[in-house]
Structure 1
Amino acid sequence: MTAYKELMAFQHTTEALGQVAGRLGWDQETMMPRGAASQRAEEMAAMETVLHARRTDPKIADWLDQIKDTTLDEVGQAQMRHIRKSYARSLKVPSDLAAQIAKVTSRSQGLWAQAREDEDVESFLPVLQEVVDLKRQEGQALAQGADVYDAMIDDYEPEMTAGELQDMFQAMRPRLVALRAAVLEATAPAALTGQFPADKQMKLTRQLARTFGYDMASGRVDKAVHPFSSGSGQDVRITTRTSDFDPFNCFYSTIHEVGHGCYEQNINPEYLLTPLGQGVSMGVHESQSRIYENQLGRSKAFTGWLFDQMNDMFGDFGSESADAFYGTVNRMQNGYIRTEADEVQYNLHIMLRFDLERALMSGDLAVGDLEAAWNDRFLADFGYAVDKPSNGVLQDVHWSVGLFGYFPTYALGNVYAGCLHQTLREDIPNLDDDLGKGDTSSATTWLKENLQQYGGLRAPQATIAHASRMQPSPDPLLDYLEQKFGALYDL
């Protein structure tokens, strides 16, 4: 047990330093002055060098050799599983490569933000090429002759492969496309019109964060170009964004990020600054953000309560009733932006990105051809052309910071959320009574007790199976979507 205690003490410091590195990233996207970008890149590279040295320290191998996992309890065995995997992964990636990736992706993020603002793809392509080249090198080092993209996916969704995801997406696509076609032929609910001051949006969005259980004493809500969450344990921060003519962008981005934030805040405090003290995978993480945002936040019961809050905050904002407002919140319409897409079309946005980044990593798609490939695929999938880069290939931050393999976990999270929602509804039959009062606690407590508190204790799919009492399948999600939108559009 001495070796185990020493290893966990060493790991505690490594995890703490990882949180510091994450805070540098949060600052870069929220408050850092633009002129600090090159220095921040050096700082991020320095932090990654320190972290990589700790993650590959030969003492870890000595401790692991001394520890017999069979003598540990379930928690101890899970800690060892994560540490062994992290150590093996870190040894495969050279320190200078890890530092260079941190440096270039830090610089690339700022260049992406400027290119997006300027609608200038060409200015971003050189640094994107650097990122792609570096991530390919990392993927090849991790794969060691196996599939490079599988190795990348494993960073975000352990035990998942591109082949499994491809099979899942192919199974989902026909029902999604058929539902989308039927809905678009029906009469759409009224769209939201009018102007909504940003300061009032932020006031209501912080109320929404608290409504869904986000602990503001251990978190904060700020603005960023692309909403995200950061941190774990006692310091979990989220961001959102505002648009004067689309308050839903702010409100539902916030609820989405609160789902991520609450997952991190609700993990067993005994796991703090250990490998178990954070969400087990991005797919499971997305299951929390998506169920908060969609199955709860866009439900008829909750939007009825939100309708009253909107009236209180903005006065008569043009929606005639709670029922009409529910239709407006869930209105399906043509659009370019993934984060603003309705529940039916969202997964089609992900499938587009999955195929493109898989081709990028394999070398079948050149960086210089990415914009054209995006535009061609978007036109084929959605039936209308991309009008500007910020609505197309420049809309997401992910590729600029090297998150290849991340995008498919969004759709996987939707699938997981479908399973969780079905079981949650079975266990809480009167849930809508609570949501109609703006009380999400029965649902969020269920999620905390059945999933969130366990952090990284179980593997991702086992985490979902434990909470939902079923093996993950896209059928509950597709059934839910067909029932919801069928009723909403009188199909």
Structure 2
Amino acid sequence: MTNNTAYAELMEFQRQTEALAQVAGRLGWDQETVMPRGAAQQRSEEMGALEGVLHARRTDPRLADWLAAAEPADDKAAAQLRHIRRNHARTTKIPGALAQELARVTSIAQGIWAEARANDDVAAFLPTLAQVIALRRQEAECLAEGGDLYDALIDDYEPGATAESLGAMFDRMRPRLVALRSAVLGAEYQPKPLEGHFGQDAQMRMARDLATAFGYDWQRGRLDLAVHPFSSGSGSDARITTRVVETDPFNCFYSTIHEVGHACYELGIDPDYALTPLGQGVSMGVHESQSRIYENQLGRSRAFTGWMYGQMRERFGDFGIAGAEAFYGTVNRVQSGFIRTEADEVHYNLHVMMRFDLERALIRGDLVVEDLEAAWNDRFKADFGIAVPRPALGMLQDVHWSVGLFGYFPTYSLGNVYAGCLHRALRAAVPDLDAALAAGDTSAATGWLRENVQRHGGLYTPREVITRACGAEPGEGPLLDYLEAKFRGIYRL
């Protein structure tokens, strides 16, 4: 077998594996959007069976032979081999039965969590959560080989990151965030909250128009409703979801923009990488950088909210906010709320830091599931100064733990840090950006992001992608500087 033959056979095998993984993702999308509730048990068996097939392919003995024989012809081929080699090394450490059971249990756990959340019934969810944690700990033990279990799980979502490095970053961020929060909450001027009723149909029409404004390709995507908004798919099929609260249209609008950021990353990848390891976002931190910069630095900017104010006036009439500048303050109003996905930019990372500490304690065995609700409520009161009134606003609000995504939460804040760096570079590259945003035109910004981040897919490592785009190593400074300048301006400090 020649080196060229080995590489060609490996990539053809990998293409089929990637296609099957997309099918698994589509089953997950279906489960969260349109699947009949009574199909949950059967779907868990289907997901488990498909994961068994995928695990068998990812541990196929031929992979080791192909990897040993293949030599890359260029940097792109070298990156393909790097991803396949890493995934093969990790997957072969995990028994097939464990991988299949994880897929089965986390599939059925989603429905159990959703029902428990709807009923504010923590007790109904705890046995399933304990089972998920036990399985993820088993997986982490296989991967860590004596090392830190939580680091092994983080590596699934942000290769190269560790709890120590992320914790140190959070320790540097927390004092400035807390000081900024104290200043704005204590400011004499406070933006007016949005009040009124905003019908679901009108919200969804505007959500579609916002997605279009941010360049979402409707030929390769769709918008649906879900309990917890998410994006799913890649290549030529990247779908988004949102949710509607008729007293809070910002929930729908900014969830949509956020998920469009994720989907546009996948749709913006070089099409030559489709159904290969390079044909998807390189890490969840980089993925989150796209969703957060779309949502916040662009979508909540003074220029874009000025355009958005006019759109809302056309659709909803006089909704009690007098003028675009007041609307900018309303959109960015800082308040201690319970829900992470609805949190303002000042509070958002504090939500993530809390989850990071709690889930690390769960995986390390320092916190048992039976004590999680009390630990959550105590920590929330300490960090945010308000008591959690019911579980749906507390430990049951996020879908992540039900589906086993331990190690995922810190990538949200890492994505914010990356977004801060990208925003600074974007502003330098496109100095007249605000004039376009004020007209509802995001193409200069989204085009820059597509060219400098999105099109590369998995070609570079996560930090390399951001460093190449920004011309400097990423750090938390640009994000914190942006937040302080923005919110001190809004609150007239």
Confirm or deny a common fold (TM above 0.5).
Answer: yes
Q: Distance in 1 between matches of 2:470 and 2:435?
A: 22
**1:270 maps to which residue?**
272
In structure 2, what residue type is equivalent to 1:104? V
Instruction: Check whether the contact 2:258–2:294 (CA below 8 A) recurs between aligned residues.
Output: yes
Q: Does 1:406 align with 2:408?
A: yes
Shift of residue 192 of structure 1?
0.2
The alignment partner of 1:236 has SS state of strand
Shift of residue 188 of structure 1?
1.4
**2:59 maps to which residue?**
56
In structure 2, what residue type is equivalent to 1:427? A
Q: Distance in 2 between matches of 1:269 and 1:296?
A: 26
The alignment partner of 1:154 has SS state of helix
The alignment partner of 1:114 has SS state of helix
What does the per-residue CA deviation read over 1:457-478, in whole Å, with 9 as the maximum and x for residues that have no partner?
0000111101111101000000
Which of the residues 27, 30, 39 maps onto 1:27? 30
**1:6 maps to which residue?**
9
Which of the residues 27, 34, 39 maps onto 1:36? 39
The alignment partner of 1:275 has SS state of coil
In structure 1, what residue type is equivalent to 2:311? Q
Matches within 5 A, 1:404-483: 404-483=406-485
**2:249 maps to which residue?**
247
Segments of 5+ residues of structure 2 without an aligned counterpart are: none
Segments of 5+ residues of structure 1 without an aligned counterpart are: none
Instruction: Check whether the contact 2:336–2:347 (CA below 8 A) recurs between aligned residues.
Output: no
Matches within 5 A, 1:258-337: 258-337=260-339
Q: Distance in 1 between matches of 2:242 and 2:252?
A: 6
Q: Distance in 2 between matches of 1:434 and 1:133?
A: 51
Matches within 5 A, 1:45-84: 45-69=48-72, 72-84=73-85
Q: Distance in 1 between matches of 2:316 and 2:471?
A: 42
**1:340 maps to which residue?**
342
Instruction: Check whether the contact 2:7–2:71 (CA below 8 A) recurs between aligned residues.
Output: no
Q: Distance in 2 between matches of 1:469 and 1:340?
A: 32
**2:183 maps to which residue?**
182
Matches within 5 A, 1:166-181: 166-181=167-182
Q: Distance in 1 between matches of 2:91 and 2:360?
A: 23
Q: Distance in 2 between matches of 1:430 and 1:317?
A: 31
**1:154 maps to which residue?**
155
The alignment partner of 1:239 has SS state of strand
What does the per-residue CA deviation read over 1:63-91, in whole Å, with 9 as the maximum and x for residues that have no partner?
0111134xx20100000000000000110
Q: Does 1:237 align with 2:239?
A: yes
Shift of residue 423 of structure 1?
0.4
What does the per-residue CA deviation read over 1:415-456, in whole Å, with 9 as the maximum and x for residues that have no partner?
000000000000101000000000000000000000100000
Instruction: Check whether the contact 2:418–2:475 (CA below 8 A) recurs between aligned residues.
Output: yes
Q: Distance in 2 between matches of 1:481 and 1:297?
A: 14
Shift of residue 319 of structure 1?
1.1
**1:109 maps to which residue?**
110
Q: Distance in 1 between matches of 2:421 and 2:311?
A: 30
The alignment partner of 2:92 has SS state of helix
Q: Distance in 1 between matches of 2:459 and 2:469?
A: 13
What does the per-residue CA deviation read over 1:139-161, in whole Å, with 9 as the maximum and x for residues that have no partner?
00010111110010000000110
Q: Distance in 2 between matches of 1:414 and 1:469?
A: 18
Matches within 5 A, 1:312-391: 312-391=314-393
What does the per-residue CA deviation read over 1:186-223, in whole Å, with 9 as the maximum and x for residues that have no partner?
13100000000000000000000010001011000000
Q: Does 1:141 align with 2:119?
A: no
**2:222 maps to which residue?**
220
Instruction: Report how many aligned residue pairs link the two structures.
Output: 489
Q: Does 1:490 align with 2:492?
A: yes
The alignment partner of 2:475 has SS state of coil
TM-score (norm 2): 0.99
In structure 2, what residue type is equivalent to 1:96? A
310-319 or 89-98, which moves further after superposition?
310-319
What does the per-residue CA deviation read over 1:206-246, in whole Å, with 9 as the maximum and x for residues that have no partner?
00001000101100000000000000010000000000000
The alignment partner of 1:289 has SS state of helix
Structure 1 vs Structure 2 CA RMSD: 0.5
Instruction: Check whether the contact 2:421–2:478 (CA below 8 A) recurs between aligned residues.
Output: yes
